[in-house]
Amino acid sequence: MEAAPPPPKRRSVGGDATNTAPETAASRKRKSTDAADPMMRAATARRRSLGGKRKSRGSPTTTDATGAASRKRTSVGDGMTSRKRRSLTSDEGVASRVKRRRSLEGAPLFSPPDKEATPKKASPGAAELSFFSPAASAKRSRAWSVRCSARRAADAWSEHDGWLPSKGEEETFMTLVESRGCPPAKRLEAWAAWASGPSTELLLELSSDAALETQISKDVKRTLRGTPYFRDGDGATYLAAFLRTRAAEDTSVGYVQGMNYVAAFCLLVARGDADADANPAPTARDDAARAYDAFRALTGLCRGYYVDGFPALHRDVRVFSDLLSEHLPEIAAHLEKVRAEAMTYAPRFLMALFLHMLPGHVVARLLDCVLAASAVDPAGGSDATSAVLVHALLAVVAAAKDELVATDDFCAAQAALVRAARNTPSFEKLRRRAPCSVEACRAALTRPVPPPQAPPSRSPQRLFPLPPPPPAAPPTGILQNLRSWFENDEYATDTMRRPRLSPRPRRSARRSAGVELSTFAQRAASPVRFALEALSPAPVRGDNPLSRWV
């Protein structure tokens, strides 16, 4: 007897999949065979109700007990097929179907995800780096002008010869810097070209000043220590070298807190896109030298912010307050109402060069303008720097106008300013929000300072004014008796070492009182002490010699 040919293989189709292959004669024959076999009919119904995969026809033949069980399940499932199919169309039905399919296939219901697909845990300083670093903050920004700024800057500078302006083209050069900025890949080269001065060798070794080294070590440990470059790379070494070298160059200023973040920002500019690498590569010596030139130029332009007395800071705050009252009088009046004076919040932005206030890519564009303005006018570099910084602070205040007007105290006003600065999307929008131009700020800085005027004398303001004092009444009681006693020379006795004011003889009616008074006057050193002892809390009737006059 010839062996039956093996049945053809069938496609495994899911319970909800649709077989779009054309129907052949073999498939029609299989359908008729399945319809004639009651066991296959029961198995098909069960598979449709559970939504599982359709088993191939080459599976072993089931026993009678299995067939009976399948017939029993089929009888129960025939009436529930339509309801279960309706439930499978919903999200809940899809979840139950996936669970049943996994249970039929022998896989765990909730298998753990693959280790390769698990995202890497961000470092503790990733959030700080993503805001402080120019490259990381530009990647995170959603502003269209920020995403295309690198390409636009490269195209604009390709038509310009070098990084310095030609004679007579200073205004066009500054317009290019303010509108396009430097290409991020060439920013360090441009900053080094704008920073005038000879190159200096970095002091990588510790100095002999123990107090300076202690302060630098403390601040280096606080500066971006959560980032890989300053924690695991050579960022901390170069940061300490920058601060040590700058303190040795300018001994009159030395090291001032706040310089560490300016140096760290220059190092991140030198790193470029590699500032957030998990395994940072060593910084090249040439890049570190260029970064120090930019750091020295920035701290030199803002030298008035660090010397004793802070003369440049006081001047810039005064000019900012005047421009705020001139161009934004409503905000100036409201800030004065909530007692938020300019000296209480402006140094926080100016002394740190807006670091930790504006996003890193905005600060980079701002420092482009600062260094370019100093390159155009080396003699007035300090005034140009102050004009750019005051202009940026006015733009921040104008951006926070709606929130500032809604505040009712000093702390809320400061928080509104910080939020407006940190949410600045791009440098272009910051410049458009400024109420005046950089030239207006520069002109305000060169105005002569008015002579100081004495503040008008004002009576102290009270929450509840005091009522007017009542009219003075003539003294009565013991005060009147004391006054008449001193005026009538009744306190003078023969035993006192001073002449009598009146030669009038004592009346005999007051002889006894004079004896008592002479005994009491011996214990008094002066008439003032005598009056104080008379007014002391002693019993009115008794030991007090003035009891008979009360």
pLDDT digits (tens, 9 = 90+) for 386-421: 999 999 999 999 999 999 999 998 899 999 999 999
Does the domain at 210-301 match CATH 1.10.10.60? Answer given as no
Domain ranges of the chain: 34-55+68-105, 210-301, 311-445, 478-549
At position 164, the amino acid (one-letter code) is L
Question: Could you tell me what percentage of the chain is helix, strand and coil, using 3-state DSSP and rounding each to the nearest 5?
Answer: 60, 0, 40
- Average pLDDT value for residue range 205-222: 91
Q: Determine the Cα–Cα distance for residues 417 and 402; give it in Å rounded to an integer.
A: 11
Scanning the structure block, which residue is given the tokens 């009182």? 513
d(C-alpha 138, C-alpha 128), whole Å? 14
Query: Which one is predicted more confidently, 502 or 394?
Result: 394
Q: Quick check: 15 pLDDT over 60?
A: no
Q: Provide the residue count of the chain.
A: 550
How far apart CA 417 and CA 452 sit, in angstroms, is 30
Tokens of 156: 């604009």
φ/ψ bin of 181: left (φ > 0), alpha (ψ from -120 to 50), beta (otherwise): left
Query: What mean pLDDT is reported for the chain?
Result: 76
Is pLDDT larger for residue 378 or for residue 550? 378
Phi, psi of 217 (to 5 degrees): -60, -40
pLDDT at 144: 84
Tokens of 369: 């303008």
Angle (CA) 343-345-350 rounded to 5° is 85
Per-residue pLDDT at 509: 45
> Using 50, 70 and 90 to split pLDDT, how confident is the model at 525?
very low
> What number is the average pLDDT over the span 299-318?
91
Q: Which CATH code is given to the segment(s) 311-445?
A: 1.10.472.80
The per-residue pLDDT for 198 is 80
What pTM, to 2 d.p., does this model score?
A: 0.62
Percent of the chain predicted with pLDDT > 70: 61
Q: Please indicate whether residue 224 or residue 464 has the higher confidence score (pLDDT).
A: 224
Q: pLDDT at residue 67 above 60?
A: no
Q: Are 402 and 340 in contact (CB under 8 A)?
A: no
311-445: same fold as 210-301? no
Q: Work out the number of other CB atoms within 10 angstroms of the CB of residue 12.
A: 10
Whether residue 30 has pLDDT greater than 70: no
Long-range contacts of 367-372 (CB under 8 A, 24+ apart): 367/191, 367/298, 368/177, 368/181, 368/182, 368/187, 368/190, 369/174, 369/177, 369/178, 369/438, 370/298, 370/301, 371/190, 371/191, 371/194, 371/195, 371/294, 371/297, 371/298, 372/173, 372/174, 372/177, 372/194
